[in-house]
Amino acid sequence: MTKYYWLKLLGSIVLLTLLPLCWIVAELRSEGDRSVPAENGIVNLHDRDMTTSGAVRLNGEWLLYPGLPLTEADFSKADKSPLRQGVAVNVPDVWNGLPGLESGLGTATYRLRVHLPDDASGIYGIRTTNIRMASRIYVNGEEVGGSGRPGLDREGTLPGNTPNVGFFKLQGSEADIVIQVANYSYASGGIVYPIWFGTQEAIVSSRELGLFEYWLTAGGFLIPALFLLLFFRLRRREAPLLQLGGFCVCSLLFVLTHGEKAALALLQALNYESVLRVQLISSAFVYYFLARYIVQLYPKFGVRLLDRLVLIISCIITFAGLALPTAQFSRFEVLLLVCSLLSIAYVLYVLIRAVMTRRENTLALTASIQSVLIILLVYLLNGFGYLENQAILPFTIVVFSAAQAYQIVSRFAHLLGHAERMSERLLQHDEWKDEFMLSTSYEIREPLRSIANLAAAAEQQEAGGGGSERLTMITGIARRLSYLVDDMIDFSLLKSGEAEYKRRVVLLPPVVRSVLELYPPQALPGWEVEVLSPNPPPLLADERRVGQIIHSLVAYALQHAGGAAVRLAIQAEEDRVALIIAAPGIGSALSTEREEPEFYRADESATESAERVRLSVTRRLIELGGGEWRARGLESEEDEALSISWPIASSEAIAAAAGASEASGRTLPAFDGDYREELAASAAPEAPGGSGSVLIVDDDRLGSQVMRQLLGEERLAIKTVASAEEGLSLLKEAGPFDLVIVDLVLPGMSGLELVRLIREHAAISELPVLLLSEGRLPDETLAGFRAGANDILVKSYETSELRARVGTLLELRSSVRRLVRTETAFLQAQIKPHFLFNAINTIMAVCRLNPPQAEALLLELSRYLRASFDFGNLEQRVPLHNELELVRSYLAIESARFDDRLRVEIEVGSGEWIPVPPLSIQPLVENAVRHGIMRKPEGGKVRILIEPAASGWRVTVEDDGVGISSDRLSEIGESTGDSGGVGLANISRRLRLMYGEQLHIESWPGEGTRVSFNIPRESGA
C-alpha cells in the first residue's frame, strides 16, 4: 500500500509542479521573442515579418509628455520647439514619481513610433489591457480606441479602465502611436500592462485567447461556488462548505472586476469606482476565506494568532474599501500583498502538517499545496514584471478547486457510507428487537393462556370451596398479562407496518352488541345504549379491528367509571358514523395516549404502563382505518365523553356487500338499541355435550395436556401424539376418529402436509380437522383451508372458544353420519321399477310350468322387499348374514330369469356374524350381475368371498364378465349408480366414515372385475 502511495505522490508532483514550472520557464524565454524593446520612443520592426510573427509587445522606452493630452498635430508643432521634448519612460510601468506626476494623479501623453518593413501596408490592430484610469488611442492621427474619457482634472475625467482592441489601415511603413492617459481615481497611473501590436489576425487571435482564459477562470470558480453553497444549505453544520464557497465567490468577484472586467458589462448601472471597491474587498476576503477553510478542515493544525491577524487585516482592508475615496484606499495594496503572502504561507503550513500526518486524502492535499505554490509564484513573477502571460492560473485554480471539492465529496462519501452502515445496523437491530419482542410475546402468551384456562377450569370445579377466590384472582392476572402481550404484538406490527386491516362494509350496532355480550351482566352497572341516529349507515372498516377498539375503550371506561353509569351512543354525522362513550374519567384517555408508548417507565405502575400501551395501540388502530377520536359530550349529558368515528361506506361498496349477502342467503342483524335483558339472560357459553374420539397432533406437551384437560369434560376419548408420522400411523391402526386437531408447526412433516395426507383418504365432511395456528402470517389461514382444514384456531384461544369449535366440528361429523345412514335407508327403499316388473313377469311365467318354484320365488321376493323397506338400516352396522340374506334373495330371482347363464359362488366360512355396513354387499353383487355378467351372451359367474385378513376381514365380489374400461374406472368412484340406485360412492363414503377404508376396484376388460373392502377386527368384535 505504501509503495503505491509514493508512486501516486510522485506522479502528482510531476504533473502539478514540474510541468507548470517548465511552462513558466518556457514562457519567460518566449517573452523576449515576442517583444522588441523600444528606445527613446522608437521601435524598429524593419526586419520582422508581421504576417508570421504574430502580435508583439511594445515594451521599452516610450516618450511621456506630462500635463496635457496631446495629439499628432500637437507633436508636429512641438517638433519645431525644443520645449516640447518628451521624457523617456519604461512601459509597462506606473508613472508615479515622474516630474509633474509625483502623486500618481494627473494627465499625460505617451508616444511611440513603430518602423515597419516597406511592404507592411494593410490592416493592423492594437490591444490594451490595463491603462489607468482613462485613455484614448491615436495611430497616425486616427483615433482607434480607448477607455473612459481622459481630462485635465478629476471632474473632466471619466475613469473606465477596461481592455480595448482597435484596428486601423496602415499606409506606408511607419505607425505613430499616441495615447492620452488621465488618472484622478487611483493611487498609481500610467500604462501598467504591455500594449500589443500586430496584424488584424494576430490581434484577434490574441484577444480570443485572452477571453478564453478569462471565462475559463471565471467558470472554474462559479460552478464550485454554486455547488458548495447549495450543499451548505442542506448541511448547515458543515462550516468548511461555507468557507470554501465564500473563497470561490470572492475569487469569482475578483476575476469579474479584473482583466476583462465583465462586471461592468453584466451590471450596466455599476460605475467604475464601485468596481474598484469590489476589487479591493474581494481580494482581501479571497485570502481570508482560503485560510479559514483550511483551518476549519484541519483545526488541529491551526494557529489562533495567525487566524486573528488575517481577520484583522481583512477587516482593515474592507473598511478602507467601503469608507475611503478610491484614490486613497488604493494605497492599501501593500497591506493587501502582506495579507496574501501571510494567508498563503499559513495555508501551506497547515497543508504540509496535514500531509506529514498521513491523514485521509493526502494526495488531494498535496495537489492543493502544489497549486497554491504555483499561483503564488505566478503572482510574484507578474508583480515584478517578469511574467505577463498568466494562462497557467486557470489550470492551477481549477486543480485547487477540484482537489478541495474531491476532499469534500470524499469526506461526505465517507460520512454517508458510515451513516448507511450505521443505519443498516440500526435497522437490523430494530428488526431483531421487533422480532425478539414479537417472538417473546408469542412465547409468553401461550403459558399465560394455559394458566388462565387451567385456573378457569379449576375455578368451576372449586366453585363451592374456599380456593375459588384465589383461582379467580389468578385468572384475572393471567388474562391481564395476556392482554398486555396482545397489545405488544399489535404495537410491533403497527410499528413495522405489517398490521392487517381488511376494509369491508360493517354495521356498527351489531359490532357493539357482540363486544358487550362478552361482559357478564354484573360487570355492566347502569349500562345504557342509545341510537341517536335511526338506521345509521354502514362503515367501511375492519370488523375485527373495530371490535378490538370498542373492547379496549369499554374496558378503560369500566375501569375508570368506579361503578358509575356508563353510556354509549351511536350517531351518524356528515360522512362518518361515531360511537360516543360517556363515563367519568374517560376524557383522560386523550391525554394518556399522546405520549409515545414505552413498555416501562419508572414513574408509573405496571397497570398504568399497560393501560397507556393499550390506548396507544387503540389510537394507532383507529388512525389505521381512517378513524378519528376526540373529546365531546352527549346532547343530554354533561359528563366526559369520548367520540370515535369511522368513514361510512360508499354506495358502490354497500351495493357489492348487499349482492354478496343475497347470494349467500345471509342477512345482517338488526340493532335493538337496548339489549340489557339479553345480556342478563345470557350465560357463559357451554360446549356441546356428547361423545366422540379426538386425535391431537401437537409437539407442545404442555399445550396438549391443557387441551386434554379442557376437552376431557366433554366425555371425549382423546389421544395425543407429538408428530405427524405418529398421527398418520394411529389413524390407520386405530380406525377413524371423529376429529383431528393438528398443530401447524410440527417436527418433520408439517401440519399442513398432514392435513393434505388426511384429505387423500377422507373428505372434508367425513373427518373434520381443526388446525392450530400462531396467527403470525397473513397467509397461514388461507394455506390451512387450501390444505383441507375445516377450521383454524389461533393458539391464543379462550376455553369457551376451543370448546365451541370442537363441539361444532363433532356435531358436523355426527350430522354427516346421520345423513349417510338416512340416505342409505331411503335409497334402499327405492325399488327399481324394471326389477320389480321383471321379477313379477318371471314368477307368472313359472307359475304355469312349475308352481312350487313360483312359490319359492314369491318367498324370495317377499324377503327382498321386506329387507328393502326395513328402516333398521339406519343402524351403522348389521350382521353379515342379514346382508347375505338380501344378496341370496336377489340372486335367486335373477337366477330364475337367466337360468344357467348366471352362476353364483358364496364362500363365507365362520364370519357370518361379523358386523358390516348395511347395503354394502348387495349393490356390488347387483352391479356385477347387470353390468358384468348379463352383457355377455354366454353369461358368467359371480363369486362372493368373505375371508380373514391381517387386520380383520376382507369382503370380495368378483365376476368374469365384460370388465370395465380404464376411462370408466377413473370415474367409477364418483358414480352414484343408476338413476335412483345405491351407488358405489355411497358405499365408499360409509366405509371411510366407519373404518377409514374405501373400495378397491380392479378390472380387466374382457376378463372380469374384482371389488373388495376391509372390515377392521375391532369393528367386528
Mean pLDDT over 919-938 rounds to: 83
**What is the pLDDT at residue 526?**
57
Q: What percent of the chain has pLDDT over 90?
A: 7
**What is the pLDDT at residue 70?**
84
Residues 713, 717, 720, 724: what is their CA dihedral angle, to the nearest 10 degrees? -130
pTM: 0.44
Mean pLDDT over 715-729 rounds to: 85
Residue 151, amino acid? G
Q: What percent of the chain has pLDDT over 70?
A: 71
1019: confidence class by pLDDT, cuts 50, 70, 90: very low
Burial of 333 (C-beta count, 10 Å sphere; 0-12/13-18/19+): middle
**589 domain-assigned:** yes
pLDDT in tens, 768-780: 999 988 665 546 6
CA atoms within 13 A on the CB side of 585: 14
**247 domain-assigned:** yes
Name the least confident of 92-96, 508-512, 520-524: 520-524
Residue 411, amino acid? R
Write the DSSP symbol of residue 103: T
Residue whose entry in the numeric block shows the C-alpha cell 476576503: 285
Residue 282 has pLDDT above 90, yes or no: no
**What is the pLDDT at residue 132?**
85
Domain that holds residue 856: 830-1020
Of the ranges 383-387, 565-569, 631-635, the best mean pLDDT one: 565-569
- Pair (76, 53) in one structural domain: yes
- Pair (959, 892) in one structural domain: yes
Mean pLDDT over 723-752 rounds to: 81
Name the least confident of 586-595, 975-984, 992-1001: 975-984
- Pair (225, 323) in one structural domain: yes
**21 domain-assigned:** no
Residue 289 has pLDDT above 90, yes or no: no
Residue 675 has pLDDT above 70, yes or no: no
Residue 111 has pLDDT above 90, yes or no: yes
Among 819, 849, 873, which residue terminates a domain? 819
- Pair (776, 841) in one structural domain: no
Angle between helix 851-868 and helix 880-898 axes, rounded to 10 deg: 140
Of the ranges 167-181, 763-777, 958-972, the best mean pLDDT one: 167-181
Phi, psi of 77 (to 5 degrees): -75, -40
Phi, psi of 237 (to 5 degrees): -80, -10
pLDDT in tens, 873-912: 556 677 887 788 878 877 877 777 777 788 888 888 776 6
Phi, psi of 69 (to 5 degrees): -80, 120
- Pair (742, 622) in one structural domain: no
Mean pLDDT for the chain? 75
Looking up residue 50, the CATH number of its domain turns out to be 2.60.120.260
**What is the pLDDT at residue 752?**
84
Write the DSSP symbol of residue 874: G
Phi, psi of 505 (to 5 degrees): -75, 125
pLDDT in tens, 327-380: 776 666 677 777 777 887 888 788 778 777 765 666 776 777 677 677 767 766
Residue 401 has pLDDT above 90, yes or no: no
Residue 717 has pLDDT above 80, yes or no: yes
**447 domain-assigned:** no
For the chain, what is the largest distance between any 2 Cα atoms, rounded to a whole number of angstroms?
A: 183
- Pair (231, 310) in one structural domain: yes
pLDDT in tens, 243-255: 888 888 888 888 8
Residue 181 has pLDDT above 90, yes or no: yes
Among 153, 172, 201, which residue terminates a domain? 201
**892 domain-assigned:** yes
- Pair (707, 575) in one structural domain: no
- Pair (642, 533) in one structural domain: yes
Looking up residue 370, the CATH number of its domain turns out to be 1.20.1070
pLDDT in tens, 458-490: 666 665 555 566 566 666 666 666 666 777 777
**867 domain-assigned:** yes
Q: From 783, 780, 779, 759, select the one nearest 769 (Cα to Cα).
A: 759
**What is the pLDDT at residue 1021?**
41
**What is the pLDDT at residue 833?**
55
Name the least confident of 18-22, 280-284, 293-297, 960-964: 18-22
What cell does 541 get? 372498516
Looking up residue 989, the CATH number of its domain turns out to be 3.30.565.10
**What is the pLDDT at residue 104?**
85
- Pair (799, 895) in one structural domain: no
Mean pLDDT over 638-654 rounds to: 79
Q: Which residue has the higher pLDDT, 561 or 619?
A: 619
Q: Which residue has the higher pLDDT, 420 or 856?
A: 420
- Pair (666, 521) in one structural domain: yes
**What is the pLDDT at residue 108?**
93
**What is the pLDDT at residue 369?**
67
846: confidence class by pLDDT, cuts 50, 70, 90: low
Show the DSSP H helices in 324-391 as ranges: 326-329, 333-356, 362-383
What cell does 978 get? 343408476
**714 domain-assigned:** yes
685: confidence class by pLDDT, cuts 50, 70, 90: very low
**254 domain-assigned:** yes
> How many domains does the chain divide into?
5
Residue 844, amino acid? M
Looking up residue 761, the CATH number of its domain turns out to be 3.40.50.2300
Name the least confident of 368-382, 618-632, 639-653: 368-382
- Pair (574, 717) in one structural domain: no
pLDDT in tens, 120-156: 888 999 999 889 889 999 998 899 999 889 988 888 8
Q: From 992, 993, 984, select the one nearest 1011 (Cα to Cα).
A: 984
**What is the pLDDT at residue 178?**
94
Among 395, 418, 441, which residue terminates a domain? 418
Residue 597 has pLDDT above 60, yes or no: no
175: confidence class by pLDDT, cuts 50, 70, 90: very high
**What is the pLDDT at residue 769?**
92
d(CA 631, CA 590): 7
78: confidence class by pLDDT, cuts 50, 70, 90: low
Burial of 373 (C-beta count, 10 Å sphere; 0-12/13-18/19+): middle
d(CA 405, CA 622): 50
**Torsion-angle region of 466 (φ positive above 0: left; ψ -120 to 50: alpha; else: beta):** alpha
Across the strands, what pairs with 42?
Answer: 39, 113
- Pair (299, 371) in one structural domain: yes
Residue 80 has pLDDT above 60, yes or no: no
Residue whose entry in the numeric block shows the C-alpha cell 355492566: 524
What cell does 40 get? 527613446
**What is the pLDDT at residue 124?**
93
